[in-house]
Structure 1
Amino acid sequence: MRIQLAATIRKYDKKNFPKDILAGIIIMAVSIPIAMGYAQIAGLPAVYGLYGSIFPILIFALCSTSPQFIFGVDAAPAALIGSALVGLGIESGSSEAIAAVPVLTFFVAVWLLAFYFMKAGKLVNYISAPVMGGFITGICTTIILMQVPKLMGGTAGVGELIELVEHIGQTKVNLPSLILGGISLLILLVSKKVMPKFPMAVLLMAAGAVMTKFFPVREWGIQTLSAVEPGLPQFVIPDIRMLPMKEVVTISLSVAVVIMAETLLAENNFAQKNGYRMNDNQEIFAFSMGNFLAAFTGCCPINGSVSRTAMGEQYQSKTQLTGIIAGLSMLVLLLCGTGFIGYLPIPMLTAIVISALLGATEFELAARLLKVSRTEFFIFLGAFFGVLMLGTINGVLIGIILSFTEMIIRTAKPSRCFLGIQPGHRHFRDLKESHQIHAIEGVLIYRFSSNLFFANVQMLKRDIEDNIKEDTKAVILDASAIGSMDITAADQLEMLYQGLKKRGICFYITEHIADLNEQMRKLGLGHIIEEGSARRTIHIALKDMGYERPYPLEGGVDNRQRSASRKRADNRVQEFVWAFGSETEDAIERQIVAQIEQLKKTGDVEKLLHGSWSHMEELDEDEWLEHLEEHLKEIVNISGKDERTLAMRLEEHRREVHERIAKEHPELAERFKERRHALDEHLKERRPEVYALVEDLREKRTSGKI
C-alpha cells in the first residue's frame, strides 16, 4: 500500500495558481465562523476550531488524492463528541473537556488507520449515484438548517430535522441581523448567476468588517465573532488513562465510521461530478493523519467539509494547493490578524456558508431520476431523509442498505426476451423488436441477461414454462449474459432440464463463456454437457436438432435467402426500428415536423416527399406517408400547392408501396392490408377532413374517374 504524497500538486499547471490562492483565502475566511462554532459544539473553546484548521488541513492536503476536497472541523464529528462528553459527565468547555477530547480524537485516528490497512475504502464502490446524491443533499440541507438561526441573530442548531426546526421556531428574530443576512445571501446568489468568477464572498467580508468598524453594528443587536488571542496551538500528548477504555473505543469507532463514510461518499460525489479519479484507500490514510495531528494539537475529530469544498468549487479551485493556502493563511491569521476576526458580522458569514451549501445540493439529480427511474428517485429520497431525520451515521447505513437492495432488485429482475429471426437473415433478435421477426417453428429461444442466482432463477423457469406450446420441440437458453450461477440456480436448472426431458422437449444452453461449463460441472450439472445439451452457439444447437438454414418460421413465413441489395435495405430499416423501438412512430413524427420546418425555408416539396423514403422498407414507408397525410393542410399552406394534387401524389405512392409488397413479400400482403386499415382509422380519428379527401380520391381512382 504505497502512499503518494502531494499527488494533486505534482506537475503543477501555473495557470491554476491564482484560482487556488483565491479559493484558499476564501476557504480560510469562511472556516473561521464554522470551525469556531463546531469546536464549541464539541465541548472545546472556540479558538480550538481555528487550531484544527491549520496542521490537520495541511497534512490532509499533502496526503489526499482528491484535487478539490477540503478537510476541517465539521458538524457530524463535533456533535458526536459533544454528546459523548455529556454521556461521560464532562462539562462542555471545562479543563476536563479540553483534556478528554484529544484522547477521543487520537483513537478516531487509530481506527481510521486500521480501516486503511483493511482497505475499507472499497465499500464505497457499492454505493450508487442516487444514494451519494441523496446523502450529500441531506448533509447540505442539515447544515443549512443548523445555520439558519444565525441569520436571524440566534445560535446554530444541533440534532436532526425535528430538533433543528424546533430551534428555528424558538429563535428570537433580530431584524437588523435578518436584513443583513438576507441581503448578503441575495447578493451572493445573484452574483453566482451573473458573475460566478467574481470573489463576492471576500468583498462581503471586507464590507462587513468596515461596517462593524464605522457603524454601531453591535448596538443594533448584530452579533460578531468573538475576539481571539493571537498565537499557535500547543502540541500535547493525549492522556489515554483519563477515560474508561471501553467508552473510548466505542465512541471513537462510531466517529471514525462517520468520518470515513461521510467524507468518502462526499469525495466520490464531487469526483463523479467533475470527472476525475481518486484513491479511496489513500483518502482514509489522509483522514487518519489529519486526525492524529488534530489530537496532538488538542482538537476535536476532523472531517471532510462539504461546505468548504463547495466554496472552493465555486471559485474554481483546481488542486490541494487550495487546502495548503487555507491552512497557511489561518496560521498567519492566528499569529498576526486575530483582531480582524472580532469585526466579522455572523449573519454575513452565515450567508456565505449557506450560499456555498445551496450550490452543493443535488436536487436537480432527483428531478432527473423522477423522469427516468422512479426506483432510483425513491432511493435518493431514502438517503436524503435518512440523513435529515436520523443523522449522518444512520443515513450512511440506510444508504448502504438501499444500494445493496437496488443491486439485488436489478439482478433479480434482469432484461430477458424470446428470440426469433427475420426472413432472409441469420441473426437472432428480440421478437418484440419488430413485426418482421418470427419465432423458429417448434423452438423456444430465450435470452436471460444476468448472472443466475437464487433471487432470479424462478423467473427464468417461469418464463420458459409459461411459453411452451404443444408443438415445442426444444428450448434453447441464450446464456451469453450469464457469467456465473449459484447452487440454488443450478438445482432449479436441473429441475427444468429433467421436466422438459420428461415431456420430450430438448434443452440447450448456448452462447456462454467456457468458465460457465466448469462451474456447471462443479455444481453437479456436468451431465448436461456430456449429453450434448451445452452448445457454443444457437446455430449449432439448431443443427443438432436437424434444423438447417434457412430455418422454418412459425406461420409458414417464407425464409428464403434475399438478394444482397435487398438485405442491405432491410438492415437499414431494422436499424431504424431497433434504435427507436416503441417510440418509432413518435420518431417518424419528429422527423416529419423537422422537415416541414425546413420546407418553410426552402419551399422544396419534392425533398419533403422523397428525401427520407430511401432508408425505409415498405411497411415503414407506408406509415411515413400516413404521417405526411396528417400534415397535408400544413404542407399546402406553406408550399402553396394544390391540396388535391398533393393528396393524390401521396396516395399514388402508397399504391406503389402496396404493389411492391405484393410482389416482393407476398406472405406480408395480408398483414399490410390489416396495418393499412389501422393507419386509416388512425388518420380518420386524428384528421377527419384529410381522411374524407383521401377516401374521395380512392373512390374516384377505383371508378376510373382519375
Structure 2
Amino acid sequence: MNIKLLQTLRNYNKDNFIKDIIAGIIIMAVSIPISMGYAQIAGLPAVYGLYGSVFPILVFGLFSTSPQFIFGVDAAPAALVGSALLTLNIEAGSDKTMAAVPVMTFFVALWLLAFYFMKAGKLVNYISAPVMGGFITGICTTIILMQIPKVMGGTSGTGEFFELAEHIYKTALNINMPSVIMGVIALVILFVSKKIMPKFPMAVVLMFVGTIFTISLPIRDWGIKTLNAVEPGLPKWRIPDFPAIPIQQTITISLSVAVVIMAETLLAENSFAQKNNYRINDNQEIFAFSLGNFMAAFTGCCPINGSVSRTAMGEQYQAKTQLTGIVAGFSMIVLLLCGTGFIGYLPIPILTAIVISALMGATEFDLAARLWKVSRTEFLIFMGAFLGVLLLGTINGVLIGIILSFTEMIIRTSKPSRCFLGIQPGHRHFRDLNEGSQIHAIEGVIIYRFSSNLFFGNIQVLQRDIEDSIKPDTKAVILDAGGVGSIDITAADRLAMLYKSLEDKGIRFYITEHIAKINEQLRTLGLGYMIEEGRVRRTIHIALKDMGIGRPYPLEGGVENEERSASRKRVDNKVQEFVWAYGAESEEQIEKQIVLQIQQLKKTGDMEKLFHGSWSHMDAFDEDEWLEHLEEHLKEIVNISGKDEKTIAERFEKHREEIHRRIRDEHPEMAERFKERRHVLDEHLKEKHPEVFKLIENLRENQN
C-alpha cells in the first residue's frame, strides 16, 4: 500500500500558516448551514451534518494528497440516501432511519476501499478537461440554484434543474423582501471585496455582523430566518446496526453512492489541481474517501463527499494545505463543545450569500468561452457535461461527458495526421511532399507517414491512402510508423491483407521507424512473418537499402540528387536491428538465421554466401558479431564444405580483418571500440566453444 500521511504538510511554508488557519475557520462556519441542510435531506437530524464535519474531515486531511480539497456532508450522496429511504418506505428522522443510514455509509466505505485496491483512480486519466470543466460548473450551478430559495426566505431545493426551478418559482410567490435585501447586500459586498481586497476575510466579518444584527435587531420578526440551535456535545461512536436494512438492497444502494462519490470528488479534485498547477495521487484519494466514510459510519452520519463549495471558499481565502481542513475539523469540535448557542444567531441569507459567492468563483464559464473560440467540438463536450449534471444529475452528467469525450477521441483518431514523404535534393531527411515543390518522391517508392495508433477506426484510412497512391511503376511501399504506439487485432488483419495484396502485385511493403514494442505486438498478432522476411526495418534508409536503393536516392521526374555533405557512410547496425525487431527473442532469431545460412550452404556449397544473412545489407560494424555466431558452427561448416578446420578458420579471420580495415577507413572513431568488443566476443566464444577459440587463437599467433 504506498500510503503517505500528511503529504501536503511536508516542508511546510510558515508563510501560509495564518492563511490556512483563517480559511479553516471560515470553512467551518460555512459548513454549518450546508452540513445541517444536507443531513436533513439524508433523513437525519440537522446536528448530524455537524458531526459529519468533524472526524471525516480530519481523517481526510491526514491522508489526502490534494493541498486544498475539503471533505464534508454534501448534496449528491445526501440526496441519493434520502431517495433510497423513500423507496424503502423508511420515514425521515425515525429511529429506523438513524439505524439504516450508518449501515449504508459503512458499505459505501467498503466499496470505496474496493475501488482503491482495484486502482480505479486511473479512470480519471481518460476524462478530458472539457468534461471536468463542464462537470464542476454543472455542480456549482446546481448548488447555487439549491441555495437561491434560502435567500428568498424559503428552504433549500433538491433534485435537478426543473425541480429546482419549480421550487424557486414557488418560493418566489411568498418571497420575503428583508431576507432578499440582506442576502443581496451580503453578496454585493463579497463580490466587491473580492475585487478590491481579495485577501481580506470578508466572510468572517459578515457572519459577525449578522450575529450582531440578530442580537440587536428583530430580524426574526421581519421573517429573516436564522439557523436552528443544536445540543452541545460530540458525536457518539457506535457500530452500525447491520440487520436494520436488507443486505442486498444495502449493497446496491451503497454501490451507486460510492460511484458518485468517487467520480464527483476525483473529477472536482483534478479540476482544481489542473487549475492551480499541482498533482494528486488519485488512488490515495480514494483511500482517503474510504477512511472518511468509515469515520462517518461509526458516528452515525450519512455518506461524505468532497465539497466543491467549501474548497472554493478555501481557495478564495488562499488556503494552501490540508492544515485548512484539519483546522476546520478541530474548530467544529470546539463549536460543538462550547458554541452551539452561537449557531442560532447566524442569519441564513448571509450564510447563503457566502456559499453562492464561493461557488460562482469556482465555475469555469471562462473555459467554455475559450473552447468556443478554439474548438467547437470540445465546447459541445463541455456543454454536454454541464447540461448533463444540471438536467440529469451528477452521475448521468459524468457519463454523458465521458461518452462525448470518448466519441470525440475516436473521431479524432479515426482521422489522424498523415502524409506522403519525399526528399529534397542534396538533403538526407524525409519530409512531407506538400511542404513545397522542392520536395520530391523517390522513384518507384511510396513513403507514407501515419501519426496515430492503428485500430479498427482508422485502419481503413491507411489502407485506402496507400491503395489510392499505387502507380504502375511502384516497386515498394514504406510505412513510416514512428507515430504508431499500438495496433489492435482488426488493424493487424487489415495490414496482413494489404501486405498480401501488394505482394501479389510485386510490390514490397515495409514497416519502419516505430518503437520496439510494436514488433512484439506484430508477433503476438500473427504478423511475425513480416519481421522474418525482413519487411520490418528500423529506418526508412535501411528499408530502401534492402531494396538496393542507396544514396543519393533517384527522384521522380529525373530530378538530380547529389549529396551535399561529405559525411561518412551511415552505419546500418544489423545485429542491433535484430535486437530491436525481436526483443528478448533476438539471440534465438539470430541463431535461426545462421541455421538458414548453413542450410543454404548444404544446397549450393557457396562459402561466400555464408557471410551474408537473409536480412541483407549488413554493414561492417556488426558483421563481426555475426561471424562470432557463425564460428560457433565451425565443425558443422567443416563437415558440409569438406574443407579442414584450419582453412575455414583462416577464412573467418581473413573476413574479420577485412571488416576491421573497413571500419578503420570509414569510421576511424569506432576502431578502438571495435577492439574492445572483439575481446568481449572472444571471451564469449571461449566460454561456449573452447576448442574453436583455441584454433582461432593459434591462427592469430601464427600470423603474428
TM over 0.5: yes
Which residue number corresponds to residue 121 of structure 1?
A: 121
Which residue number corresponds to residue 262 of structure 1?
A: 264
CA offset digits 1:21-43 (Å, max 9, x no partner): 00000000110110111011111
- Distance in 1 (alpha carbons) for counterparts of 2:476 and 2:565: 31
Range with bigger deviation, 90-99 or 128-137: 90-99
CA offset digits 1:205-253 (Å, max 9, x no partner): 1111111211221122111111222222222221111111111111111
| Contact persistence 2:96–2:244 (CA under 8 A) | no
SS of equivalent to 1:96? helix
The one-letter code matched in structure 2 to 1:64 is S
- Distance in 2 (alpha carbons) for counterparts of 1:147 and 1:436: 66
Which residue number corresponds to residue 521 of structure 1?
A: 523
- Distance in 2 (alpha carbons) for counterparts of 1:339 and 1:431: 79
Q: Decide which of 175, 178, 182 is 1:176's aligned counterpart.
A: 178
The one-letter code matched in structure 2 to 1:53 is S
- Distance in 2 (alpha carbons) for counterparts of 1:248 and 1:200: 43
CA offset digits 1:245-270 (Å, max 9, x no partner): 11111111111111111111111111
- Distance in 1 (alpha carbons) for counterparts of 2:291 and 2:516: 47
Structure 1 residue 324 displacement after superposition:
0.8
Structure 1 residue 562 displacement after superposition:
4.7
Range with bigger deviation, 491-500 or 69-78: 491-500
**What are the within-5 Å matches in structure 2 for residues 533-548 of structure 1?**
533-548=535-550
Residue 145 to residue 435, structure 1, CA distance change in 2 (3 Å): farther
CA offset digits 1:152-197 (Å, max 9, x no partner): 1111110011111111111122111111111211211121122111
Which residue number corresponds to residue 22 of structure 2?
A: 22
Residue 408 to residue 219, structure 1, CA distance change in 2 (3 Å): same
SS of equivalent to 1:419? strand
SS of equivalent to 1:220? coil
Q: Please, which runs of 5 or more residues in structure 1 have no aligned partner? A: 565-706
SS of equivalent to 2:318? coil
Identity %: 78
| Contact persistence 2:551–2:563 (CA under 8 A) | no
CA offset digits 1:340-367 (Å, max 9, x no partner): 2111111111111011111111111122
- Distance in 1 (alpha carbons) for counterparts of 2:559 and 2:24: 73
SS of equivalent to 2:242? coil
TM-score of the pair, normalised by structure 2: 0.78
- Distance in 2 (alpha carbons) for counterparts of 1:527 and 1:49: 66
SS of equivalent to 1:475? strand
- Distance in 1 (alpha carbons) for counterparts of 2:437 and 2:148: 60
**What are the within-5 Å matches in structure 2 for residues 530-609 of structure 1?**
530-562=532-564
Which residue number corresponds to residue 506 of structure 2?
A: 504
TM superposition outliers: structure 1 runs of 4+ over 6 Å: none
Q: Decide which of 427, 438, 441 is 1:439's aligned counterpart.
A: 441
- Distance in 2 (alpha carbons) for counterparts of 1:483 and 1:240: 50
Which residue number corresponds to residue 386 of structure 1?
A: 388
SS of equivalent to 1:211? helix
Structure 1 residue 452 displacement after superposition:
1.6
The one-letter code matched in structure 2 to 1:47 is V
- Distance in 2 (alpha carbons) for counterparts of 1:438 and 1:80: 65
- Distance in 2 (alpha carbons) for counterparts of 1:219 and 1:441: 93
Range with bigger deviation, 227-236 or 358-367: 227-236
- Distance in 2 (alpha carbons) for counterparts of 1:82 and 1:106: 16
Structure 1 residue 542 displacement after superposition:
2.1
Structure 1 residue 482 displacement after superposition:
2.0
- Distance in 2 (alpha carbons) for counterparts of 1:222 and 1:438: 81
| Contact persistence 2:42–2:82 (CA under 8 A) | yes
| Contact persistence 2:452–2:483 (CA under 8 A) | yes
SS of equivalent to 1:219? coil
Which residue number corresponds to residue 224 of structure 2?
A: 222
- Distance in 2 (alpha carbons) for counterparts of 1:20 and 1:368: 32
Which residue number corresponds to residue 8 of structure 1?
A: 8
- Distance in 2 (alpha carbons) for counterparts of 1:506 and 1:324: 68
Structure 1 residue 10 displacement after superposition:
2.6
Residue 102 to residue 524, structure 1, CA distance change in 2 (3 Å): closer
The one-letter code matched in structure 1 to 2:130 is P
| Contact persistence 2:481–2:514 (CA under 8 A) | yes
CA offset digits 1:611-656 (Å, max 9, x no partner): xxxxxxxxxxxxxxxxxxxxxxxxxxxxxxxxxxxxxxxxxxxxxx
TM-score of the pair, normalised by structure 1: 0.77
Residue 348 to residue 116, structure 1, CA distance change in 2 (3 Å): same
Q: Decide which of 295, 299, 314 is 2:316's aligned counterpart.
A: 314
- Distance in 2 (alpha carbons) for counterparts of 1:433 and 1:211: 73
SS of equivalent to 1:423? coil
SS of equivalent to 1:446? strand
Range with bigger deviation, 527-536 or 340-349: 527-536
SS of equivalent to 1:441? coil
The one-letter code matched in structure 1 to 2:9 is I
Total equivalences in the alignment: 564
Structure 1 residue 93 displacement after superposition:
1.8
- Distance in 2 (alpha carbons) for counterparts of 1:519 and 1:234: 58
- Distance in 1 (alpha carbons) for counterparts of 2:399 and 2:481: 35
| Contact persistence 2:105–2:302 (CA under 8 A) | yes
CA offset digits 1:452-487 (Å, max 9, x no partner): 222211111011112223333321110112233222
**What are the within-5 Å matches in structure 2 for residues 54-453 of structure 1?**
54-171=54-171, 172-453=174-455
The one-letter code matched in structure 2 to 1:54 is V
The one-letter code matched in structure 1 to 2:535 is S
- Distance in 1 (alpha carbons) for counterparts of 2:47 and 2:238: 16
Which residue number corresponds to residue 51 of structure 2?
A: 51
CA offset digits 1:416-466 (Å, max 9, x no partner): 111112222111111223343222233211001122222211111011112
Structure 1 residue 150 displacement after superposition:
1.0
Query: Which protein has the larger Cα radius of gyration, Structure 1 or Structure 2?
Result: 2
